[in-house]
Structure 1
Amino acid sequence: MDWEAILSNTASWLISPETIAYALAALGLAVHFGYGGLLNFGMAGFMALGAYGYAISILTFGLPWWAGILVGCLASVVFAFILGIPTLRLRADYLAIVTIAAAEIVRLLFTTQVFDAVTNSADGLGNYHEGFRAANPFPEGTYGFGPWTYNANGWWVRIFGIGLLIIAALLVWLLMRSPWGRVLKGIREDEDAVRALGKNVFAYKMQALIIGGIFGALGGVVFALPSAVVPSVYVTSLTFFIWTILLLGGAATVFGPILGAVIFWVIMGFLSNVLPAMASSGLLPFMSTTQAATLRFIFVGLALMLIVIFRPQGILGNKKELTFVKQ
C-alpha cells in the first residue's frame, strides 16, 4: 500500500469544503438539540434549501452570488416557519419523525419532473460558479504545501467557508452567553418551569429552529460552491452523519461540532483510501475494492453507537450539562 498517498489524501480533508459544510450544519444542529433540546432529524432539508436557493437564484433569476446566499438563508427561514408552527408543540420523538419526513419531502420536490425547468430534477444544477469565482481575491495559480496545494478557486472556497464558520461559531458563542441563550438552555432542561416564569417557550423554540436552520443552509451553500447541486446528496444519511459529528464533538458546545467534523472526515477519508487498498492487496480477499470502501459506513454506525453508550457528552462536552430530551 502507498502510505504516503493515503496519508496525504487523508490530510487534505482537514480543510475540505465538505468538512467545513458539515461543521456549519452541525453547529446549527447544536443550536437545535444541544442548546434547545429540539430533536431535529431534518438538517438535510435545510442544507438542500440553502444549496438550491443559491443555485436557482443565480441560474434562473440572474442574481449575484452573495444575493444567492441570502436567498438560500431566506428559504431556510421559510422552511423553519412551515416546519415549526405545527410541530414545535409535539413531543420530542414525534418531532424527530416529522422532521425526517419534511426533509425527504424537500428532496423529492427537487427531483420531481414538475419543476424540471428550475431544478433540473434528478440531474441537479451546475454552472453557477462564475460570479463567486469572479470575486476571488487570490491571484491565479496553484500554491500551498504538501496535501494542501490548491488553485486560486480551491483556496477561495476554503477561505470563504472557514470565514463563515468562524462567524457562525462566534454568533453561537455570544448567543449562548446572552439572556436569550440562558432561557433556551432552560427550555432544554425543563420547559414547563420556563413557561411558568412567563416565557414564551414556543417563540424561543422557533427562533432556535430558524437560527440553526440558517447555519444548515450556509453549510449547504458551502457544500455546493466547488461542485454542483445534486438532490441525491441530501438524503437521510446526510442528517445522520451530522448527528454523528455533533455527538462526537459535543452537543452543547460551540467548538465540538467543528472538531467533530474534522475528526469525522479525516477518519472517513482515511478509511476510503486504506480499505480499498487492503482489498486490492489481498488483505481483504473476500471483498472487492468497492465493497471494502462501503465498510466505512458500517464503522460510522458502530462509532455512533459507541459514542452514545460510552461518551454521550462528546469529546468537548460537559456531562453536567448533558440532557436527552424528556417530554
Structure 2
Amino acid sequence: MDEFLRILTQSLAELIAPTTAAYAIAAIGLNLHFGYTGLLNMGQAGFMLLGAYGFGIATIAGAPFFLAVLVALVAGLLFALVLGIPTLQLRGDYLAIVTISAAEIIRWIGRSTWLQEWTGGASGLQGRNYKGTFQDLSPLPDGRTAIGPLEYINTGSDSWWTRLFAWGVVALALLFVFLITRSPWGRVLKGIREDEDAVRALGKNVYSYKLQSLALGGMLGALGGVLYVLPITIAPDAMGRTMTFFVWTVLLLGGAATVFGPVLGAMIFFGAYMFMRTGMRALSENTGVGEIISTTNVEQIGGMLVGITLMLLVIFRPQGILGNKKELAFNVR
C-alpha cells in the first residue's frame, strides 16, 4: 500500500511539474501550426532547443532574465522565418520534411565542438550558469513548503517558484491563443486549414498568414524550451526527435484545434507516463517480473508504449479528448 501511494504521489507531482508545463506551451504553439492552420511541423523540438540556447547563452553573457527570454523568442522567430519563407508556398509535406531535418541540424550544431565555447558541446550548458537571474526574481521566502503530499523548496531548480512561474506562463499563453483564434485573424487560419484555395479566392494572402502562424507557434515553442531548462541543464541530446513526438502525442491526446487541449493532454500524458514508469520499476524490483523487465529497460519500454499510444490515437481518436472530429477536415497542401 505504501508503495502504491508513493507511485501515486510521484504521478501527481508530474502533473504540475515544470517539464509538463514546458510541453504544454510547446503543444500550444504546435496547435497554432497544425490544429488551426494545418501546417505539418515535425520539428518543434528544434524551436525548443533554440529557445533554450538563446536564453542560456544570453544569460551567461550577462543579460537580465526577461531580456534573455526575449532573445529566446527572437531565436524562435528567426528559425520560423528561415524555415517558412522558402517552403510555405509549397505543399505541406515539404514543411514536415524541412522542419524535422532542421531540428536535427540544430541538435547536431549544438553538440558539435566548433561552437562548444557557446553551447557546451555534447555536454550542454550547466544550469548553475544561467538559473541565477530567474531564481533572484522569486518573491517566496527561503525554506520548504508542503502542500498535501507534495513538498519542495520555495526557490531553486526544483521548487515551487519554478512551478508557479511555469504554469503562470501557460495560463497567459492560453489566454493569448483564446483571444487570437477568436479574432478575424484566427478565423482566416481555420479557413486556410479547411480550404486555402477558397481563402485565397477571397483576396487573403495565404502565404503571409501561414508565415505568421508558423512564427507565433515557433516563438511559443522557444518559450517552452526556456521553461524546460529552468529546472535542469541544457542538453542537446535531450531535445531531439523524441521530444517532438511527445509534443505531438500531447496535442493529439488533448485535442487539436482546442484551446485547453494541449494543457490537458500534457497533464494526462506525463501523469500516466510517470505512473507507468514508476509502476514498472516497482514491479521489476519487488516481484519476479524483474526477470523479464529489468529496471534498465523501463525507459525503452516506455518509449515503445508512447509510440503505440500515438498510433492508437491517430487511428481511433484523432480528435483527442476535447476535440471535434469536424475540426479535423484538413486540406493540408
Task: Please state which band the TM-score falls in when normalised by the shorter chain.
Answer: over 0.9
Q: Which stretches of structure 1, 4 residues or longer, exceed 3 Å deviation after superposition?
A: none
The equivalent of 1:314 in structure 2 is: 320
Instruction: Give the aligned residue type for 2:134.
Output: F
C-alpha distance in structure 2 between counterparts of 1:147 and 1:67, whole Å: 36
Equivalent residues, number: 326
- CA-to-aligned-CA distance 1:25-56 (integer Å, 9 cap, x gap): 00000000000100000100100011110000
Is 2:233 aligned against 1:228? yes
Q: Distance in 1 between matches of 2:298 and 2:175?
A: 40
Map 1:88-127 onto structure 2 (within 5 A). Answer: 88-126=88-126, 127=128
In structure 2, what is the equivalent of residue 151 of structure 1?
153
Whether 1:285 and 2:291 are equivalent positions in the alignment is: yes
TM-score by length of 1: 0.97
Deviation of residue 284 (structure 1)?
4.8
Please give the alpha-carbon distance, in whole angstroms, between the structure 1 residues aligned to 2:74 and 2:181.
Answer: 23
SS at match of 1:90: coil
Deviates more, 1:176-185 or 1:85-94: 85-94
Amino acid paired to 1:263: I
> Which secondary structure does the structure 2 equivalent of 1:316 belong to?
coil
Deviations 1:67-118 (A, max 9, x none): 1111000100011111100111221222111110011111111111111111
- Aligned-residue sequence identity (percent) comes to 52
Separation in structure 2 between the aligned mates of residue 105 and residue 325 of structure 1, nearest angstrom: 29
Report the more deviating stretch, 218-227 or 1-10.
Answer: 1-10
CA contact (8 A) 2:43 2:244 kept: yes
| 1:205 alignment partner AA | K
| Separation (CA, whole Å) in 1 of partners of 2:293 and 2:317 | 32
Matches within 5 A, 1:1-327: 2-59=3-60, 61-126=61-126, 127=128, 128-153=130-155, 154-280=159-285, 281-327=287-333
Does the 8 Å CA contact 1:39/1:93 hold for their aligned counterparts? yes
Alpha-carbon distance in 2 for matches of 1:19, 1:296: 17
C-alpha distance in 1, partners of 2:250/2:120?
31
CA distance in 2, matches of 1:294, 1:10: 19
Which range is displaced more, 176-185 or 87-96?
Answer: 87-96
CA contact under 8 A between 2:44 and 2:221: conserved in structure 1?
yes
Q: Which amino acid aligns with 1:278?
A: L
| Structure 2 unaligned residues grouped into runs of 5+ | none
- Relative distance call for 1:326 and 1:72 in structure 2 (3 A) is closer
CA distance in 2, matches of 1:20, 1:164: 8
Structure 2 length as normaliser, TM-score? Answer: 0.95
